[in-house]
Structure 1
Amino acid sequence: MPTPTADVHGAYPRLTDDQITILRPCGQVRQVREGERLIRAGEPSEEFFVVLSGTVAAVEGPDDQQHVIRLHGPHSFLGELGMLEGQTAFLSAVVKTPGEVLTLGSAALRDLLSREPALGDVILRAYLLRRTMLAGTGTGFRIIGSAFSPDTRRLLEFAARNRLPHRWVDLEKDTEAEALLMRLGIAPEETPIVFWHDYQVLRNPSNVELAQVIGLRTGTVARAVCDLIVVGAGPGGLAAAVYGASEGLSTVVLEAVATGGQAGTSSRIENYLGFPAGISGMELAERAVVQANRFGARIAVPAEAAGLEQRDGANVVRLTEGGTVAAGSVVVATGARYRRLTAPGIERFEGLGVHYAATLWEARTCRFDPVAVVGGGNSAGQAALFMARESPAVHLLVRGEDLGHSMSRYLIDRIERHPRIHVRLHTEVQEVTGEDRVEALVVQDNHTREQQVLAARALFIFIGAHPATAWLAAAVTLDRRGFIPTGQDVDHLAADLWKPLGRAPLALETGLPGVFAVGDVRSGSVKRVASAVGEGAMAVRLAHEHLEGVRPPAIR
């Protein structure tokens, strides 16, 4: 855990006098006394504090057992990423030495940061780093449950994918946890529980219930009416949200699992324009969420689309939880989901060493252990390099004959030079073994049929993806692989839908007027983050054309 005095890679910068001068007109200065609590963990963080004099401690735990995470002195600012995203605070802030603070409301801060990009980047970068640090130290709420409970794994996956600081307490291994449940009168069938900052207990909450407590989802979007619905919050969907909201369209974003999509599970994206040193999927996603929120987009997580239909001239999205959202235009950006690997032991250990993402959240459970990565594409290559930073051995298992078939050259060169990455071509996983988590893999050479046991404490799987279009099957035409044709590729059997409009489908428009598809879910798309972002922006321009009744040449 970081010491109370050390800075970590710019996570705790001191603001300059000029920067504080910029902030002063937007807030107010007030005296604070020793012991005064400025931020309370588990409650909405609605004020931004700059310490002008005295000291303030960021602490975790109840009042009688507080652990100091960081001691803030003059010119330091409090808080972390949740401050900008409307989430509840994960740490409390308590005055240790009396002095003065400058305080701004969260809305005033967001408005100021849009006008002062240099200052905004200092604060946002620090907040992103602080969130990453909290994740690495196991700070945050506790999930108490059995490793063999599907609901425990569901909550752990939801917390990890949404980059929420948390720690897991395994009921099978922690005797104190069992005693705590008995003391609280919680029956085994009521687990898992979420222990929310030592004062609230959630008994086997749904993802929606947990999201509402955290502030990921502040209200229902059911029965909403807006200009633009974006289904999916990967790079393409977030780009559509940013451009749509910034151009004055009332925009609602529906995301079933977590913002960032498949890109959000990447440890590093190195070929995205403008980031020569690369950027993590987590940082890209969080920056986009802050940007979309600033322009007024409403992002609902989790909110899963169950169907789409046209009704009275509007496009209506049905939600799995009930209710609908209606809009003039819809951008479908549901992307693709990684395929599951089929082998004995895989399903049993999902979430217990078998992962379909390789980020800090998954890596913290096996940091110094040998691991294996399955796949021959860029995602697998990035995962292998990320895990090799601390793992003594990373086995990259590739079914094909060479890496060059689907992996970028820059990744291949780095993998081949890395002393701790061992590439095993024409190799497949036959079985995953272990007691209560992954301990070893049985792999087979698909040429010689020779089998071998590899010691591995985790298995990361990246073996291609299938489009997330099941909810659309009855609404729009899909190609034979389940992707969505757009523009000139739309099935001409749907021509009757377009005759009243007097035009052909626009470039990214599906077989349903006013419904556009972007990113990996679109048939023939380039599977790159940059292209998804470009399509998201382009779809908003086309949505304007649809909403304004622009009439391109009619279908012949």
Structure 2
Amino acid sequence: MPTRLSSDQSAQETPDENGAFPRLDDDQIDQVARHGTRRPTREGEVLYAEGDRSHDFFVIVSGVVQVLEHGEVVRTHGPGRFLGELGLLEGQPSFVTAVVAQPGEVVQLTADQLNELVRGDPVLGDLILRAYLMRRAVLIGRGNGLQIVGSCFSPDTKRLLEFAARNRIPHRLVDTDKDTHAEELLRRIGVTIHETPVVVVPGGETLRNPSNRKLAHVLGLHASSAPRDLTDLLVVGAGPGGLAAVVYGAADGLDVVAVDSIAAGGQAGTTSRIENYLGFPAGISGPELAERAVLQAEKFGVPVNVSVEAVSFSPRDGHYVVRFDDSSEVRTRSLVIATGARYRKLALPRLADFESTSVYYAATIHEARECQANPVAIVGGGNSGGQAAVFLADRVPGVHLVVRDADLNTNMSRYLVDRVMSHPRIEVLLHHEVVELLGDNQVEGVVVEDNQTRHRRTLPVRALFVFIGATPCTAWLSSLIALDEDGFVLTGEHVATGDTWWHKGRRPFPLETNRPGVFAIGDVRSGSIKRVGSAVGEGAMVVRLVHDHLSFGART
């Protein structure tokens, strides 16, 4: 049963948190009501509960509503406030319960009616969207939502934590090695220690060591329905470039299918703060940028299907077919390859022993929380390493930035160099490399070596963050797509020779591969500029080229 407050207590409304809980005026409430229904409420009525797969949007006209997490009241709302968070727009289960504490009146909208309101009223739509993004950040910061129960030394526990973090799903780790309540929780849900890790989903469902795809399906991130027989455009990869192609393609009326093997956002989705992206003078986190793009794609009717990895590509009957690791396939008139690149790893003995516990390839609030206020080391002299250093230095007592080059300006933007060098908790170790990790299963120290003097020292850190570039994700293309010597996709003038184009009667478009109608954008493309802005630009540009390809094919 939900915890209830007395009338006096329930009247004490929780203050707003930096715009996460704004109040609508009477005119705005009337505007919302035009899309939904006004109705009375009764004391004790549950408007929606934790785990509900679909629920409605509510604006409180009068009365008081309490929001509960695991039966405990965490927030109290009065007239003018609206309920819900990002999951309502994305079809995810609710992470909280909303209960009427004092009867009154609400305006109620279905999810479809809410989407209609958001699309039709830019002012209200922006207000609701901004509030929902902030509320998701509040939930993530509190560590509520999913409970992932398992050992911090388990690779599967690490996998589930990474999946939840990359997809911006509120969650927390119940560590069976350290949490005194873990045994009691396992007993309550009827799970033995040998069956861990398990994921406890809001509403009570328990998943025993689920695959990423199973968890994505439960959370509404993985579509179970088969795609259409033939689509105009298939976008494989949902980094900034892929998301831009999806949004622009869908907005232009193309029939678009979008997939990603892990999560929307790509490498940018692991970046704590992007400060040089046009239009965001205060900066924006990579996960929030990805979340906004996903909402834009869904606004135009294209969900991003995650936990689906492309395994093969082939031409068929004048079109192309991409097969995925869930045995599904998509037949498409045009294809955008936006699979990006995967993190490079340090060539260190016993690296695998630490990757499940204290070696990270992303720096977000989740990784910062796992560091538990211990000093850390970061390897990498590019923008990703600099951004991670600045972000973590505000949350841990010390950051050692290990850079192989002798000059930080070689690969890092000037504004970021200034911030790194002026931060009192960042030590920059130029011309140094990590040569050894110390500890058993958890990093207890890192040995670095000066590559000029060969002098070694031990850094007393408890975590290692690695940002040393990436290798392109192109194995699924087999030998059908031309690659450069490093495995990146060749496009444009680099593939202009050969019988394919002579028979086609045209030269390849910019961003087009050696296969007509197959394009590559972002980090996977040979010669690309590794910047979020350029990837987004290529994503917008490629949609125009897809139109040109489709219209040229129709003429011939």
TM-score by length of 2: 0.94
Q: Does 1:531 align with 2:531?
A: no
Q: What displacement does 1:114 show?
A: 2.0
Secondary structure class of the residue paired with 1:365: helix
Q: What displacement does 1:188 show?
A: 4.4
Partners of 1:208 and 1:257 in 2: how far apart? Answer: 9
Q: Which amino acid aligns with 1:258?
A: A
Q: Which amino acid aligns with 1:488?
A: E
**CA spacing shift, 1:296–1:12, aligned 2, 3 Å:** same
Partners of 1:327 and 1:46 in 2: how far apart? Answer: 35
Q: What displacement does 1:435 show?
A: 4.5
Q: Structure 2 residue aligned with 1:336, among 323, 333, 341? A: 341
How many pairs does the alignment contain? 545
Structure 2 gap ranges (5+): 1-11
Partners of 2:55 and 2:515 in 1: how far apart? Answer: 42
Aligned counterparts, 1:243-322, within 5 A: 243-322=248-327
Q: Does 1:544 align with 2:547?
A: yes
Q: Which amino acid aligns with 1:509?
A: E
Q: Does 1:477 align with 2:482?
A: yes
Partners of 2:539 and 2:55 in 1: how far apart? Answer: 31
Aligned counterparts, 1:100-499, within 5 A: 100-182=105-187, 184-197=189-202, 199-221=204-226, 224-366=229-371, 368-490=373-495, 492=497, 495-499=498-502
Moved more, 114-123 or 229-238: 114-123
Q: Which amino acid aligns with 1:406?
A: N
Structure 1 gap ranges (5+): none
Q: Structure 1 residue aligned with 2:511, among 503, 508, 518? A: 508
Moved more, 155-164 or 198-207: 198-207
Q: CA RMSD in A?
A: 1.9
Q: Which amino acid aligns with 2:543?
A: V
Partners of 2:221 and 2:435 in 1: how far apart? Answer: 39
Q: What displacement does 1:197 show?
A: 2.3
Moved over 6 A (4+): none
Secondary structure class of the residue paired with 2:419: helix
Q: Which amino acid aligns with 1:348?
A: D
What percentage of aligned pairs have identical amino acids?
57
Contact 1:234 1:260 in 2 (8 A): yes
Q: Which residue of 1 aligns with 2:22?
A: 13
Partners of 1:52 and 1:374 in 2: how far apart? Answer: 53
Partners of 2:162 and 2:392 in 1: how far apart? Answer: 19
Q: Structure 2 residue aligned with 1:33, among 9, 30, 42? A: 42
Q: What displacement does 1:535 show?
A: 0.7
Partners of 2:451 and 2:13 in 1: how far apart? Answer: 53
Q: What displacement does 1:424 show?
A: 0.6
Aligned counterparts, 1:58-97, within 5 A: 58-61=67-70, 66-97=71-102
Q: Which amino acid aligns with 2:433?
A: E
**CA spacing shift, 1:415–1:4, aligned 2, 3 Å:** farther
Partners of 1:108 and 1:240 in 2: how far apart? Answer: 27
Moved more, 364-373 or 289-298: 364-373
Q: Which amino acid aligns with 1:32?
A: T
Contact 2:153 2:356 in 1 (8 A): no
**CA spacing shift, 1:434–1:98, aligned 2, 3 Å:** farther
Secondary structure class of the residue paired with 1:478: coil
Q: Which amino acid aligns with 1:302?
A: S
**CA spacing shift, 1:367–1:130, aligned 2, 3 Å:** farther
Partners of 1:150 and 1:415 in 2: how far apart? Answer: 32
Q: Which amino acid aligns with 1:28?
A: T
Contact 2:93 2:202 in 1 (8 A): no
**Residue deviations 1:442-481 (CA, integer Å, cap 9, x gap):** 1111122222111222221101111111111322010001
